[in-house]
Amino acid sequence: QVQLVESGGGLVQSGGSLRLSCVASGRTFSSYAMGWFRQAPGKEREFVAAISWDVVITYYADSVKGRFTITRDNAKNTVYLQMNNLKPEDTAIYYCAAGRRPTTNDEYNYWGQGTQVTVSS
Protein backbone atom coordinates (compact mmCIF):
# COMPACT_ATOMS: atom_id res chain seq x y z
CA GLN A 1 0.00 0.00 0.00
CA VAL A 2 1.24 3.47 -0.91
CA GLN A 3 -0.19 6.72 0.38
CA LEU A 4 0.47 9.91 -1.53
CA VAL A 5 0.22 13.47 -0.24
CA GLU A 6 0.56 16.43 -2.58
CA SER A 7 1.54 19.96 -1.61
CA GLY A 8 2.74 23.18 -3.15
CA GLY A 9 -0.38 24.34 -4.89
CA GLY A 10 -1.67 27.88 -4.63
CA LEU A 11 -2.59 31.04 -6.44
CA VAL A 12 -0.10 32.50 -8.90
CA GLN A 13 -0.21 35.08 -11.64
CA SER A 14 0.11 34.16 -15.28
CA GLY A 15 3.77 33.68 -16.13
CA GLY A 16 4.65 32.65 -12.60
CA SER A 17 6.01 29.39 -11.24
CA LEU A 18 5.08 26.77 -8.68
CA ARG A 19 6.67 23.54 -7.57
CA LEU A 20 4.40 20.72 -6.53
CA SER A 21 5.61 17.95 -4.28
CA CYS A 22 4.18 14.52 -3.65
CA VAL A 23 5.46 12.52 -0.71
CA ALA A 24 4.85 8.79 -0.65
CA SER A 25 4.64 6.54 2.35
CA GLY A 26 6.16 3.08 2.36
CA ARG A 27 9.58 1.72 1.56
CA THR A 28 8.85 0.69 -2.02
CA PHE A 29 8.54 4.17 -3.51
CA SER A 30 11.68 3.73 -5.60
CA SER A 31 10.11 0.79 -7.43
CA TYR A 32 7.10 2.78 -8.64
CA ALA A 33 6.65 4.93 -11.67
CA MET A 34 5.05 8.25 -10.80
CA GLY A 35 2.66 10.45 -12.68
CA TRP A 36 1.01 13.83 -12.39
CA PHE A 37 -2.52 14.44 -13.63
CA ARG A 38 -4.86 17.38 -13.39
CA GLN A 39 -8.57 18.04 -13.52
CA ALA A 40 -10.06 21.41 -14.29
CA PRO A 41 -13.65 22.30 -13.36
CA GLY A 42 -16.10 20.65 -15.71
CA LYS A 43 -13.38 18.70 -17.50
CA GLU A 44 -12.07 15.18 -17.38
CA ARG A 45 -8.85 14.35 -15.61
CA GLU A 46 -5.89 14.60 -17.96
CA PHE A 47 -2.31 13.44 -18.02
CA VAL A 48 0.42 15.97 -17.29
CA ALA A 49 3.74 14.15 -16.78
CA ALA A 50 5.21 10.80 -15.79
CA ILE A 51 8.58 9.45 -14.72
CA SER A 52 9.96 5.94 -14.43
CA TRP A 53 11.35 4.59 -11.18
CA ASP A 54 14.92 5.03 -12.44
CA VAL A 55 14.36 8.46 -14.03
CA VAL A 56 15.28 7.06 -17.44
CA ILE A 57 11.86 7.67 -18.94
CA THR A 58 9.81 10.84 -18.75
CA TYR A 59 6.62 11.77 -20.59
CA TYR A 60 4.88 15.09 -20.89
CA ALA A 61 1.59 16.25 -22.26
CA ASP A 62 2.06 18.48 -25.30
CA SER A 63 0.36 21.33 -23.46
CA VAL A 64 3.09 21.46 -20.80
CA LYS A 65 6.23 20.50 -22.72
CA GLY A 66 8.97 23.03 -22.23
CA ARG A 67 7.22 24.56 -19.22
CA PHE A 68 6.85 21.71 -16.70
CA THR A 69 9.52 19.34 -15.41
CA ILE A 70 8.96 16.16 -13.45
CA THR A 71 11.70 14.89 -11.17
CA ARG A 72 11.98 12.53 -8.25
CA ASP A 73 14.15 11.94 -5.21
CA ASN A 74 13.90 8.32 -4.21
CA ALA A 75 15.84 8.93 -1.01
CA LYS A 76 13.09 11.34 0.07
CA ASN A 77 10.16 9.32 -1.35
CA THR A 78 9.17 12.44 -3.24
CA VAL A 79 8.23 13.35 -6.78
CA TYR A 80 8.15 16.96 -7.94
CA LEU A 81 6.49 18.92 -10.67
CA GLN A 82 8.22 22.19 -11.45
CA MET A 83 5.77 24.42 -13.32
CA ASN A 84 7.07 27.52 -15.07
CA ASN A 85 5.40 30.10 -17.27
CA LEU A 86 2.03 29.16 -15.89
CA LYS A 87 -1.08 30.02 -17.86
CA PRO A 88 -4.70 30.41 -16.76
CA GLU A 89 -5.53 27.18 -18.57
CA ASP A 90 -3.22 25.35 -16.16
CA THR A 91 -5.74 26.01 -13.39
CA ALA A 92 -6.81 22.66 -12.01
CA ILE A 93 -6.52 20.23 -9.14
CA TYR A 94 -3.24 18.38 -9.58
CA TYR A 95 -2.95 14.75 -8.52
CA CYS A 96 0.07 12.53 -8.23
CA ALA A 97 -0.17 8.81 -8.84
CA ALA A 98 2.01 5.73 -8.41
CA GLY A 99 2.03 2.70 -10.64
CA ARG A 100 4.11 -0.12 -12.03
CA ARG A 101 5.07 1.67 -15.22
CA PRO A 102 5.06 5.23 -16.51
CA THR A 103 2.05 5.74 -18.74
CA THR A 104 0.07 8.62 -20.12
CA ASN A 105 -3.23 7.02 -19.23
CA ASP A 106 -4.65 6.67 -15.73
CA GLU A 107 -3.60 3.07 -15.12
CA TYR A 108 -1.95 3.90 -11.82
CA ASN A 109 -2.57 1.96 -8.65
CA TYR A 110 -2.44 4.74 -6.08
CA TRP A 111 -3.62 8.33 -6.11
CA GLY A 112 -3.22 11.34 -3.88
CA GLN A 113 -6.03 13.66 -2.89
CA GLY A 114 -4.83 16.55 -5.00
CA THR A 115 -3.61 20.11 -4.60
CA GLN A 116 -5.28 23.14 -6.14
CA VAL A 117 -3.39 25.31 -8.61
CA THR A 118 -5.00 28.56 -9.68
CA VAL A 119 -3.41 30.83 -12.27
CA SER A 120 -4.83 34.33 -12.59
CA SER A 121 -4.61 36.31 -15.80
54 contacts: CB under 8 Å, gap ≥ 6: none
The residue ranges of the chain whose pLDDT is under 70 are none
> What are the CA-CA distances from residue 49 to residues 6, 25, 34, 102 (Å)?
15, 21, 9, 9
pLDDT number for residue 68 = 98
The pLDDT tens digits for 5-36 are 999 999 999 999 999 999 999 778 889 999 99
**pLDDT score of 1:** 84
If you ran DSSP here, which 8-state letter would residue 111 be given? E
pLDDT in the model for residue 56: 94
Question: What local confidence, expressed as pLDDT, does residue 26 receive?
Answer: 78
pLDDT of residue 3: 95
